[in-house]
Structure formats: structure tokens, C-alpha cells
């Protein structure tokens, strides 16, 4: 089992460019999440999907959109990147809300 996979591992963008971060899980989990990690702030939830077909805003959704493509895949899109979105992005999944979350290896994003 690969668990949770994320692509790309690292990306550099210019201000205003767009990109999509991909996430997939092979554990048949219902719930998936996108977080950003910034120094000293822990992880902050951007969006989550409680189950296939649903998505909801987390703590810091502004500037992002998500798509739950199917049960396995949950993508995060930056429509117009800003330097404030420079961060490490983690995808996670769990059997249900409140369950143990399993994390991917992360995507380092630098916006110039």
C-alpha cells in the first residue's frame, strides 16, 4: 500500500500563476483533508471532504478551491498564487471525521 501520495513534491510559481496539487489515497477512506504548514503555526485546515461528493471550508480557505474527484482523489487548486501561499501543503485521509488521519509526504510551494 502506498498510503497517501502527493504530487508534485516541490513547485516554484510566480505571483498570479495557477496550479493544482494532487492527492490520492489507497486505503478506501471516506474523508480527506488539505492542510498548510507554516513555521510556529502547526497545521491549519484549508478544506476537507467528509465523504465522496462533499467538500467544506476549513480554517483558511481563501485563495484555494478543491475537487473531490472520486473516493481516492482530492485536489487543491490555487487560481492566482500569492507570496502568502508559500508553504508546505499536506494532504491527509481518514476512515471518517474524527478518525486517525494519515498524511502524505507534503508539497513544498514557493511563490515568488
Cβ count within 10 A of residue 38: 13
Contact 7, 26 (CB under 8 A): no
Given the complex with another protein, which of 85 and 107 has the nearer CB atom? 107
HSE, side-chain direction, 13 A CA sphere, residue 86: 10
Whether the link from the prior residue into 34 is cis, omega within 30° of 0, is: no
Residue 26 C-beta: closest distance to another protein, Å: 15
Residues that bind another protein (CB under 8 A): 4, 33, 40-45, 48, 58-59, 90, 92, 97-98, 100-106
Given the complex with another protein, which of 49 and 85 has the nearer CB atom? 49
- End-to-end Cα, the chain, rounded Å: 36
Residue 65 C-beta: closest distance to another protein, Å: 18
**Phi and psi, residue 64, nearest 5°:** -130, 155
Residue 16 C-beta: closest distance to another protein, Å: 28
Given the complex with another protein, which of 13 and 46 has the nearer CB atom? 46
Given the complex with another protein, which of 85 and 101 has the nearer CB atom? 101
Amino acid at each position: 500500500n502506498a498510503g497517501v501520495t502527493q504530487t508534485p513534491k516541490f513547485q516554484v510559481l510566480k505571483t498570479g500563476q495557477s496550479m493544482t496539487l494532487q492527492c490520492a489515497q489507497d486505503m478506501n477512506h471516506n474523508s480527506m483533508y488539505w492542510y498548510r504548514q507554516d513555521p510556529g503555526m502547526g497545521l491549519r485546515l484549508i478544506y476537507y471532504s467528509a465523504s465522496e461528493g462533499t467538500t467544506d471550508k476549513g480554517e483558511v480557505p481563501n485563495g484555494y478551491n478543491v475537487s473531490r474527484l472520486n473516493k481516492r482523489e482530492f485536489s487543491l487548486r490555487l487560481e492566482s498564487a500569492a507570496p502568502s501561499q508559500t508553504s508546505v501543503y499536506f494532504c491527509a485521509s481518514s476512515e471518517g471525521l474524527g478518525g486517525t488521519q494519515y498524511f502524505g509526504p507534503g508539497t513544498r510551494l514557493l511563490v515568488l
